[in-house]
């Protein structure tokens, strides 16, 4: 791991704990923040990350559609189950509990 980052991380922990930094530490901490910000900017300026985000967004939308379809199918199956239970009740006079009563 980069020594500068390790030093910045130690300073970051001090800041997070509410401890004061010396003037020299403040400068080093600020420079570390700026360096990390620059790294992030360079990382996200290319077209590849944006195309990755677009692909992920598209996949999320596809999965949301599948989820909605499955919810609809589940509701239809629940309705069918209720119909079948009603027919069973009429035929036998018994109520289905929905619980499996295996050998006791």
Q: In this structure, what token pair is assigned to residue 76?
A: 């239809």
Domain region containing 56:
47-94
Instruction: Flag whether 28 is in a domain.
Output: yes
Q: Alpha carbon 5 to chain centroid distance?
A: 28
Q: In the predicted model, is pLDDT for residue 81 greater than 80?
A: yes
Helices 23-45 and 47-92 meet at what angle, rounded to 10?
Answer: 70
Write the DSSP symbol of residue 17.
T
- Of the candidates 45, 64, 80, which is a domain's last residue? 45
Q: How many domains does the chain have?
A: 2
Q: Sorting pLDDT into bands at 50, 70 and 90, what band is 70?
A: very high
The residue-averaged pLDDT of 19-48 equals 85
pLDDT at 64 over 80: yes
Same domain, 34 and 57: no
Nearest Cα neighbor of 28 from 60, 3, 62 is: 3
Q: How confident is the model at residue 47 (pLDDT cuts 50, 70, 90)?
A: low
Q: Which residue has the higher pLDDT, 42 or 100?
A: 42
> Is the domain of 36 the same as that of 70?
no
Q: Are residues 57 and 37 in the same domain?
A: no
Task: Tell me: pLDDT of 103 over 70.
Answer: no
């Amino acid at each position: 791991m980069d020594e500068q980052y390790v030093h910045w991380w130690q300073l970051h922990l001090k800041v997070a704990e509410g401890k004061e930094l010396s003037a020299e530490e403040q400068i080093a901490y600020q420079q570390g923040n700026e360096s990390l910000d620059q790294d992030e900017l360079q990382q996200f300026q290319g077209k590849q990350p944006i195309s990755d985000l677009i692909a992920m967004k598209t996949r999320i939308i596809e999965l949301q559609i599948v989820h909605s379809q499955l919810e609809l199918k589940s509701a239809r199956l629940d309705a069918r189950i209720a119909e079948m239970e009603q027919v069973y009740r009429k035929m036998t006079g018994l109520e289905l509990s929905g619980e499996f009563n295996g050998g006791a």
